[in-house]
Structure 1
Amino acid sequence: MSDTTYECDVLVVGSGAAGISAALKAKQQGLDVLVVDKEPYLGGTTAVSGGWLWVPGNKQGVAEGDTREEAETYIRALAGDSYDPDAVGAFLDLVPEALDFFENDAGVEFHYPEMAPDYQMDTPGARRSGRALTVRKADGRTLKKDRRRVQPYLHTYTVFGYMPEIGPDIATFIKANRSAKAFLYVTRRLVRTWSERILFRRAFTRTNGNALMTRMLAGAGDMGIPMWTGTKVTEVLRDERGAIGGAVITGAHSGTVRARYGVVLAAGGFSGNAALRTRAFAHDPRGDDHFTPTIGHQGDSYFLAEPHGGVLDTRPHQPASWGPVTVWKNLRGQERIFPHLRAFGLPGLIAVNREGERFANESYSYHDFGVEMIKENAGRRDTFGWIVADRKAMRTYGIGYAKPWPLPAWYYRKVGYLIQGSSVADLASRIDVPAEALRRTLEEFNADAALGRDTRFKRGSNWFHHFKGDMEHKPNPNLAPIDKAPYYAVRIQMGDLGTYAGLSVNGRGEVLAASGRGVPGLYAVGTAAVSVFGGGYPGYGANIGPAMVFGYRVGRDIAAHAAERSGGLRKAAVRDGDG
C-alpha cells in the first residue's frame, strides 16, 4: 500500500445519485469533499436507470392538491408491517428543501410530467400524477473533460445506441414501424447519435438516468469536487477520538484518506454478492438464481461498515426492488441482461409459469410482478417464467430486447434470447410446458382480450396499467388476442434494481450498530441503507428519490454532527480536569 496521505473534510464512497447529492450539498456548505468510486466510470446504477424521482410534496404535486396525509396513507399501505413512520416523516419533510437545492443551486433541471401514475393505483392514497418527476435531456459537453467518464447506458436497453426518454420519446419509438412521422423522428435521433459517436466517441445527448448524472456530475465538477474512479475503499478508519475519520484506498489512487468530518457510504447495495443474497433473498438460497443489471452492488458498503458494528437491516418485507430480466449470451459468448420494465403491459403479450398458466397481472409494476413471480416459484429450484406472444405483437412491439418488424428476428433466435414455434403446441414443446395447458390459457385470455377485459387478473383496469401499454390501442391499451402464428417466447428470471434491505441507519443517516447507537462519522445513503419504503415500491423513482433526499440531508448536516462530537469531547475534558 502507498504511504500517501490525502486530506479532506468529507469522503464519499460511490458516485451515483446518493453520493453526489451528499457531495454537492457538503461542498455548498464550504466543506472539502472527495468522491471515490471503484468502477471505471462515474454515475453508478443511477446512470443506467430511468432517472426518475418519486418525491411526494414537490411543487407540482402540491399545486395539484396532493397532501402529506395521502402520501403517508399510500406508503403505509405498501410498507405494511415494515412501515417506519419516523423515516417516512423525515423523507416527506425534506423533499421540498432538497428539490429546491438541486434546482436552484446544483444545476439539475427537472421535468414535471403531466402523467406518471403511482404503481398501485387501486391502493388508498395513490395518485395519477404529481409525485414522480424526471430530468430534462442533458448535453454531455457540460461535463467538459469528464464527458466520457459517465457510466454508459446499459447496451441492451438502447435502440441502436440511442436511449429513448421515458414518456413521449419512447412512445414515438414504439410507433416507428407504423407511422411515417415517427419513423422520421427516430431516424433523426439515430443518425445524430451515430454521427456524434463516430466523430466524438460518444453522443452528446444524454437521457434518463444518464442525463440526471450528467447534470449532477457537471455541477460537482463546476464546484471543484475531485472524483476519482478506479479507486476502491478497502477499510474505513477511526480517528484518535473513536469517530470514523478516514479510509484506506487502493487502485488508481492508493494510500490513506483522512476525512475530518466523516465518511459517507454510497456504494450501492448487495444484490451482486451471492453470499449476501443467500442471507436476504428467499428465492435465491444457493446464491445463483438471481441476475442484476446494477453497477457495482457487491456489498462494499456493508463490508466497510461491519467491522465498526454496522448491521444489515432485513426488516423490509421485500429485500429488493425486483425487476424480471432475461439473460443470454451474444455471438461472442458474452453474457447479456435485459430488464423487463415495460414489456408486460403491451397488448398481445402474457406471462406464464412452467405449467403454461398465467400467474399474475402482467401490467403490474416490475417490482410487484416480481413479488408474484417469487411467490409462484416458492419451493422450486429456480425462479423463472415465460413471456408469450404471437406474430402480431412481435411485429408491432417486439418482445423486450427483440426489436419489432422490419428488423429480422433471426439474430434473437440464434443467440437463444427468442424462441419461436410454428404453433401453440410447437412453442409449448420448445419451452417445455404442457401444450394443452398453454392452449387453454390462450383461449381464456383471448376471449377476454377481444372484449377489452381481463376477468382473471384485471389487467388494463387502471391508469398505471394503461400508462404502461399502448394508449392508442382499442378497446384496452393493455389487451389484444394472441392468435396469429408463429408464436414466440422469452424466458424471464429474477433480477433487481437495487436492494431494499441495507445498513441500519438512524434519523441522521448514521450507520447504526447492533447496540442501537450510531457509529459517529459513518453514514449510509441510497441503496447502501435500508429503504424508507419498507419493501413497497410506490412509483417511478422509488430508489433515486430517497437517495437524493437523504444524500442531501447528510451533506447538509455532516459538519454540524462533527461539531457536536467535538463539543462533547471538550466538555468531557473540562469535567475531567484537562481543560
Structure 2
Amino acid sequence: MPFSIIVDQSGARFTNESQSYIDFGHDLLERDKEVAALPSWLIMDHRHRQRYLASSLLMNGKGKREQGIVVKAASLDELAAKMSIDPAALRATVERFNGFAKTGVDVDFGRGRTVYDNYYGDPGVKPNPNLGTIEKGPFTAVQIVPGDLGTKGGLLTDEHARVLDEQGAPIDGLYAAGNNTASVMGHTYPGPGSTISPAVIFGYLGARHAAEHSLTAGDTQTSTTSSLETETVLP
C-alpha cells in the first residue's frame, strides 16, 4: 500500500514492495547475501497507519514494541536510530522514494507498474496507487522476516498424477496431488490460492487414470487398491 517502503539494515530499498510475496521473499534472501537484510524494516508514515489495515500490528502490539519488533518515532532520524540504521542513509532513501511518488514512476524497482501491484494499491492515491510520500509523522517501522508457507519440493508426478521413481518411471498404482507433490509452477508462485487448482486438477486426473487402469486390468486386487487410492487423492 502507499506511504510505505521496506529497507534493509543499511537503510536502502532493494525490491518492489508491492510484488507477489514469493518474489519478495526471493529478493529478500538474495539481498541478505550482499547486505544484511534479515530482518528488514517496513516503514510507514502516519497516513498509512490511519488508512490501511496493518495485520502485523493487530496482536500483542505492546509485546512487539518491548521486543523491538515494532518501533515508533516522531521523526525519521529518531526512527532510524531505533532501527540501528544510519539516519542520513534512511533520509536519502526516503527522499528518493518521495520523488518517485510525486512523479508516479518508481525508476528503481517499478513499483505500481503492473495490474498485480495495483490490486493492493489505493486508487485514491495519484498518480500511482502504490506510491505515496513518506513525510507525515509519527512514523512506524516493523521488522520483516521470511516465513515458511509451503514447499516447492515433493513427489514428482507425471501428467496422470502417477508418482515417478528415481529413474523417472511411474510407480504402478501410486498417485499423488496437492502440496505433497512438486509444484507444477516450479520455483515460483503466482499468488494466494494458486495451489488449489493444481490439487483439484491432478486429483481428478489421478482418479480418472486409476479408474481406467483398474477396469482395463480386470484384476480384483488392482481394482480394490485403485479405488482406495482414488479416494485419498481427491481434494
Is TM-score (shorter-chain normalized) higher than 0.5? yes
Given that 1:521 and 1:562 are in contact with CA atoms closer than 8 Å, whether structure 2 keeps it comes out as no
- State yes or no: 1:374 paired with 2:26: no
Higher strand share: 1
TM-score, length basis structure 1: 0.35
Q: Where does 1:115-154 land on structure 2 (aligned, <5 Å)?
A: none
| 8 Å Cα contact 2:155-2:180 kept in structure 1 | yes
Aligned length: 221
Residue of structure 2 aligned with 1:538, choices 168, 182, 190: 190
Query: 1:410 and 1:495, CA in 2 relative to 1: closer, same or farther beyond 3 A?
Result: closer
Q: Are residues 1:393 and 2:45 paired? A: no
2:202 to 529, 550, 571: 550
User: Match for residue 107 of structure 2?
Assistant: 455
| CA displacement at 1:413 relative to structure 2 | 3.0
Q: 1:415, CA displacement in angstroms?
A: 6.4
Alignment map for 1:29-48 (pairs within 5 Å): none
Indicate the percent of aligned positions where both proteins have the same amino acid. Answer: 37
* 2:139 matches 1:487: yes
Match of 1:300 in 2: none
Q: Counterpart of 2:45 in structure 1: which amino acid?
A: D
Displacement, 1:381? 8.2
Letter of the structure 2 residue corresponding to residue 460 of structure 1: G
How much does 1:410 deviate?
5.2
Counterparts in 2 of 1:480 and 1:377: CA distance versus 1, 3 Å: same
> Stretches of 4+ moved more than 4 A in 1?
379-382, 409-412, 414-417, 563-567
| 1:506 aligned partner | 158
The alpha-carbon distance between structure 1 residues 382 and 454, as it changes in their structure 2 partners (threshold 3 A), is closer
CA distance in structure 1 between the aligned counterparts of 2:187 and 2:194, rounded to whole angstroms: 11
Q: Secondary structure at the match of 2:55?
A: coil
The answer to whether the 8 A contact 1:451-1:475 is kept is: yes
Letter in 1 for 2:74: S
Residue-by-residue CA offset, 1:324-370 (whole Å, 9 max, x unaligned): xxxxxxxxxxxxxxxxxxxxxx0011111111100001111111111
Residue 425 of structure 1 is matched in structure 2 by 77
Distance 2:7 2:217 in 1: 57
8 Å Cα contact 1:377/1:384 also seen in 2: no
Q: 2:3, 2:132 within 8 Å by CA — same for their partners in 1? A: yes
The question of whether the paired residues in 2 share the 8 Å contact of 1:422 and 1:485 is answered with: yes
CA contact under 8 A between 1:388 and 1:488: conserved in structure 2?
yes
1:563 CA displacement: 4.2
- Letter of the structure 1 residue corresponding to residue 125 of structure 2: H
Secondary structure of the residue aligned to 2:57 is: coil
Residues 69-126 of structure 1, C-alpha deviations (whole Å, 9 max, x = no match): xxxxxxxxxxxxxxxxxxxxxxxxxxxxxxxxxxxxxxxxxxxxxxxxxxxxxxxxxx
How far apart, in 1, do the equivalents of 2:62 and 2:53 lie?
A: 13
Give the partner amino acid of 1:361: N
Residues 471 and 412 (structure 1), Cα distance of their counterparts in 2 relative to 1, 3 Å cut? farther
Change (3 A) 1:368 1:506: same
Q: How does 1:17-32 map to 2 (within 5 A)?
A: none
- Distance apart, 1:480 and its partner CA: 0.7
Seen in structure 2, the aligned counterparts of structure 1 residues 377 and 451 have a Cα distance that, compared at 3 Å, is: same
TM-score (norm 2): 0.82
**C-alpha distance in structure 2 between counterparts of 1:452 and 1:510, whole Å:** 49
> Contact between 1:355 and 1:434, CA under 8 Å: does it hold in 2?
yes
Alpha carbon RMSD of aligned pairs, Å? Answer: 2.7
- Report the CA distance between 1:380 and its aligned residue: 7.3
Which of 67, 86, 97 aligns to 1:445? It is 97
Counterpart of 2:231 in structure 1 is none
Structure-2 change in CA distance of 1:454 and 1:419 (3 Å): same
C-alpha separation in 1, matches of 2:56 and 2:170: 45
Correspondence for 1:517:
169
Post-superposition offset of 1:489? 0.9
Identify the residue that residue 5 of structure 2 maps to in structure 1: 350
Aligned to 1:561: 213
Q: Structure 2 vs 1, CA of residues 389 and 498 (structure 1 numbering), >3 Å: closer, same or farther?
A: same
* Structure 2 CA distance for partners of 1:372 and 1:440, relative to 1, 3 Å: same
The structure 1 residue matched to 2:65, chosen from 388, 410, 413, is 413
> Per the alignment, do residues 515 and 453 of structure 1 end up closer, same or farther by CA in structure 2, a change over 3 Å counting?
closer
- Does the aligned pair in 1 maintain the 2:10–2:36 contact within 8 Å? no
